């Protein structure tokens, strides 16, 4: 009965969620540990759309490029660029004021394509008047405070064309301007409007392909290529503490948080690292950041103008939500250009539509923001209570499990912390919890472990002392009667004495059958390692394991090596047959079985801080395998060491070439199948 009530409650919650989010016209997701999108509940939903008509009849926006919300009263300032004016909308979303100019030396001075806005705490309005090449500063009563013109200084070029696009002001009154075609950084002015310096200069963005061509081209050809130049800023804003945030057009590091020295101090501890927005194949962005906003909890709202979405990150770099899309429905955009925040809501300006879409947090979104606020401030206990509700609504939300894990870690409940970090795929946290659990376990059970260890050594000694001779006798008798078993066990001699071992193995009739049995052990060792390695050392999900694929991952490289190495050595006067190369390869790989099994067990003991010890097993295994493989080739092929090395390199090159040919064939075959299918559809439509 109790179980039935729980199921009924869960179904009711799902029903409410479906009702609440049925009208949201965009796909929402988060990124898993592989940076692949997985479905997630929306954090924000569209509440209303503000247009010229809604604030005043017969009023319309023309290509608006920026908006700014005065946090003191909720007034919305819109840079109505196409109409050369600033439109001020009140907190009630009705027209409050239109600013189309100001009095300058007794005469009316008009704006020309204003593209950037900023309002200070004392009510001063900064306007990037782009076509007039100036920053206009108006007092709260709209009287002129000052005009900041073209920067003047030794570092400014004589023919510099000044087109200010965006503007921001820090808590000390210093002005930061994004100007068109300026790659040196943000232009910083003093509170009195004097040019001070270029601030937060970007590093040069180098294209690896272009770098390659510069290496191989002549000096004359290089001179015809474009120079490597730093990337320019797209937008700028300021948080409540006065830190400057800037966004650039790049594949990574698109967002910067700049301190007084101009250094980027933004935290990027989340899964997406230093990449913001939509990720393409998990390792590069496919959009273009247009604007950014920062709330009081230092959550970062990133607007991508190309894909029509805004992304929310906490101040550690963890990805929280995504909202919006390209389209014509409520909550979608055609070309969003600006974003700002007020009273927990998100305001997005669409240049093409000439509208402002207001988003409000969903119930799920408000829970995440509340939990995240506790989480980043270190109040893991308070955050845990909210994270529990988040997990009930969205089991894909890994950050909730990480939050719960950090709370358990703080409470020194290490086992529970490990479980939640595993669910949240957070290896760093899992490693810390494992370390605590290991210390606690050893403290409680050290005497038992030592007693068992001494008992184990004693049993080994007694068995060897009193039964060793009999075991050795029975083993030799059994091996003589079963040559296949003897040949399989002969692998332990081969891996320690490869020259003598391969010489003897070549004369054994059962060597091929034995190599097949050993191959099964090798495949099992790889699969066991993949499944049972501890989470923090295992980048794969065991539940997604495909046995056939794992078998193929072992067999295909072995078969490719055997086939191509046989072809190469045949040409180069090698003596070994393909069968003998296969046997040699399998026997050479057997040390991995001996290495992987203890390594898998120790992965549950080592932490990430001790990863060097864990990966040392891989180093030992690789050196061991190469030593046996080279010894086997020298013995069977009758090669010198240098010739073995050369044929091995040629074999590897052949494998790479074969992979390339295989990919080309596969792609061509796909195109052929698609062509046949299209012809089939054409014939079907013609007949039908």
How does DSSP assign 200-236, residue by residue?
SPPPB---HHHHHHHHHS-HHHHHTSPPP-BPPEEEE
**Is pLDDT at 455 greater than 80 in this prediction?**
yes
Domain boundaries, the chain: 47-203+224-360, 368-481, 482-673
H-run or E-run covering 436:
helix 427-466
Q: For 70, what's the count of Cα atoms within 13 Å in the CB-facing half-sphere?
A: 20
pLDDT of residue 376: 80
What's the CA gap between 688 and 682, in Å, rounded? Answer: 10
SS3 track for 45-68:
EEEEEEEHHHHCCCCCCCCCCEEE
**Is pLDDT at 370 greater than 60 in this prediction?**
yes
What's the CA gap between 522 and 527, in Å, rounded? Answer: 9
The three-class DSSP label of residue 563 is: helix
Average pLDDT over residues 195-208: 73
pLDDT of residue 627: 94
pTM score above 0.85: no
Q: How many angstroms separate the Cα of 655 from the Cα of each of 58, 560, 588, 621?
A: 70, 7, 19, 22
Same fold, 47-203+224-360 and 368-481: no
For 290-306, what is each residue's pLDDT tens digit? 999 999 889 999 999 88
Is the CB of residue 54 less than 8 Å from the CB of residue 397?
A: no
Q: Using a CB cutoff of 8 Å and minimum separation of 24, what contacts does 260-266 make? A: 262/185, 262/199, 262/200, 262/201, 264/200, 266/317
The three-class DSSP label of residue 73 is: coil
Phi and psi at residue 364, to the nearest 5°: -65, -45
What residues contact 41, with CB distance under 8 A and at least 6 apart? 17, 21, 28, 362, 364, 393, 394, 397
Is the CB of residue 158 less than 8 Å from the CB of residue 171?
A: no
The phi-psi region of residue 107 (left if phi > 0; otherwise alpha if psi is between -120 and 50; otherwise beta) is beta
Neighbours of 92 (CB within 10 A): 9
pLDDT of residue 400: 92
3-state helix vs strand vs coil in the chain, percent to 5: 45, 20, 30
What's the CA gap between 89 and 78, in Å, rounded? Answer: 8
List the one residue out of 362, 349, 361 whose CA is nearest residue 89: 349
Neighbours of 595 (CB within 10 A): 20
**Is pLDDT at 225 greater than 80 in this prediction?**
no
Q: How confident is the model at residue 665 (pLDDT cuts 50, 70, 90)?
A: confident
Distance between the two ends of the chain, CA-based, in angstroms?
57
Rg (CA), the chain: 34
List the one residue out of 148, 127, 163 whose CA is nearest residue 193: 148
Superfamily per CATH, domain 47-203+224-360: TolB, C-terminal domain (2.120.10.30)
H-run or E-run covering 332:
none
Q: How many angstroms separate the Cα of 95 from the Cα of each of 55, 357, 518?
A: 5, 16, 81
What's the CA gap between 65 and 354, in Å, rounded? Answer: 9
Is the CB of residue 319 less than 8 Å from the CB of residue 285?
A: no
Phi and psi at residue 630, to the nearest 5°: -65, -40
For 38-73, what is each residue's pLDDT tens digit? 899 999 999 999 999 999 998 999 999 999 999 999
Q: How confident is the model at residue 10 (pLDDT cuts 50, 70, 90)?
A: very low
Percent residues over pLDDT 70 in the chain: 91
List the one residue out of 190, 198, 192, 195 whose CA is nearest residue 152: 195
Of 1-5, 144-148, 197-201, 644-648, the one with minimum mean pLDDT is 1-5
What's the CA gap between 77 and 86, in Å, rounded? Answer: 7
Give Cα 213 distance to the centre of its chain.
Answer: 29
Average pLDDT over residues 403-410: 91
What's the CA gap between 434 and 428, in Å, rounded? Answer: 10
Superfamily per CATH, domain 368-481: Tetratricopeptide repeat domain (1.25.40.10)
Q: How many angstroms separate the Cα of 48 from the Cα of each of 41, 67, 93, 329, 661?
A: 20, 16, 10, 12, 55
For 147-201, what is each residue's pLDDT tens digit? 999 998 888 887 889 999 999 999 999 999 999 988 888 999 999 999 999 998 7
């Amino acid at each position: 009965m109790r179980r039935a009530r729980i199921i009924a409650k869960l179904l009711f919650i799902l029903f409410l969620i479906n009702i609440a989010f049925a009208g949201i016209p965009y796909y929402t997701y988060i990124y898993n540990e592989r940076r692949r999108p997985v479905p997630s509940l929306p954090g924000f939903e569209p509440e209303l759309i503000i247009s010229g008509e809604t604030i005043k009849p017969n009023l319309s926006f023309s290509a608006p490029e920026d908006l700014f919300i005065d946090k003191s009263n909720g007034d919305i300032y819109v840079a109505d660029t196409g109409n050369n004016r600033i439109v001020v909308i009140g907190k009630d979303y009705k027209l409050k004021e239109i600013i189309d100019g100001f009095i300058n030396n007794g005469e009316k001075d008009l704006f020309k394509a204003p593209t950037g806005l900023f309002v200070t705490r004392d009510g001063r309005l900064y306007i990037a008047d782009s076509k007039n090449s100036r920053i206009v500063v108006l007092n709260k009563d709209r009287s002129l405070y000052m005009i900041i013109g073209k920067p003047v200084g030794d570092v400014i070029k004589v023919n510099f064309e000044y087109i200010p696009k965006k503007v921001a002001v820090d808590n000390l009154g210093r002005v930061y301007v994004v100007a068109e075609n300026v790659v040196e950084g943000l232009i910083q002015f003093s509170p009195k409007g004097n040019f001070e310096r270029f601030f937060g200069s970007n590093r040069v963005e180098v294209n690896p392909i272009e770098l390659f061509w510069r290496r191989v081209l002549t000096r004359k050809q290089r001179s015809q290529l474009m120079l490597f130049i730093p990337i320019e800023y797209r937008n700028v804003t300021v948080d409540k503490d006065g830190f400057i945030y800037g966004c650039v057009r790049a594949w990574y590091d698109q967002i910067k948080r700049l301190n007084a020295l101009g250094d980027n101090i933004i935290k990027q501890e989340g899964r997406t690292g230093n990449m913001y927005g939509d990720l393409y194949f998990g390792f590069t962005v496919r959009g273009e950041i247009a604007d950014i906003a920062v709330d009081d909890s230092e959550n970062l709202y990133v607007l991508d103008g190309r894909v029509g979405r805004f992304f929310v990150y906490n101040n550690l770099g963890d990805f929280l939500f995504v909202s919006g899309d390209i389209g014509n429905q409520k909550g979608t955009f055609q070309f969003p250009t600006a974003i700002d925040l007020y009273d927990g809501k998100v305001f997005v300006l669409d240049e093409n539509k000439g509208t402002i879409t207001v988003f409000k947090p969903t119930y799920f979104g408000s829970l995440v923001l509340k939990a995240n606020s506790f989480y980043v401030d270190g109040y893991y206990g308070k955050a845990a209570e909210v994270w529990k509700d988040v997990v009930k609504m969205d089991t894909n939300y890994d950050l909730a499990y990480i939050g719960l894990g950090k709370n358990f870690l703080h409470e020194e409940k290490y086992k529970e912390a490990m479980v939640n970090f595993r669910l949240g795929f957070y290896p760093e946290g899992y490693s810390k919890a494992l370390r605590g659990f290991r210390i606690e376990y050893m403290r409680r059970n050290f005497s038992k472990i030592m007693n068992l260890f001494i008992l184990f050594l004693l049993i080994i000694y007694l068995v060897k002392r009193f039964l060793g001779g009999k075991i050795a006798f029975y083993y030799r008798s059994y091996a003589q009667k079963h040559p296949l078993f003897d040949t399989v066990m002969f692998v332990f001699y081969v891996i320690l004495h490869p020259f003598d071992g391969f010489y003897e193995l070549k004369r054994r009739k059962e060597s091929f059958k034995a190599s097949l049995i050993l191959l099964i052990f090798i495949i099992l060792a790889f699969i066991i390692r993949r499944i049972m390695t501890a989470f923090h050392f295992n980048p794969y999900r065991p539940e997604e394991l495909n046995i056939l694929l794992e078998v193929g991952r072992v067999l295909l490289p072995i078969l490719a090596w055997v086939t191509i190495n046989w072809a190469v050595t045949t040409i180069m006067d090698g003596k070994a047959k393909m069968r003998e190369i296969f046997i040699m390869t399998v026997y050479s790989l057997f040390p991995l079985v001996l290495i992987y099994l203890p390594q898998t067990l120790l992965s549950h003991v080592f932490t990430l801080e001790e990863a060097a010890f864990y990966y040392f097993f891989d180093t030992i295994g690789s050196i061991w395998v190469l030593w046996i493989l080279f010894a086997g080739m020298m013995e069977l092929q009758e090669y010198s060491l240098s010739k073995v090395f050369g044929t091995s390199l040629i074999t590897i090159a052949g494998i790479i070439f074969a992979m390339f040919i295989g990919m080309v064939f596969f792609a061509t075959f796909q195109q052929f199948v698609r062509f046949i299918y299209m012809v089939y559809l054409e014939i079907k439509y013609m007949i039908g």
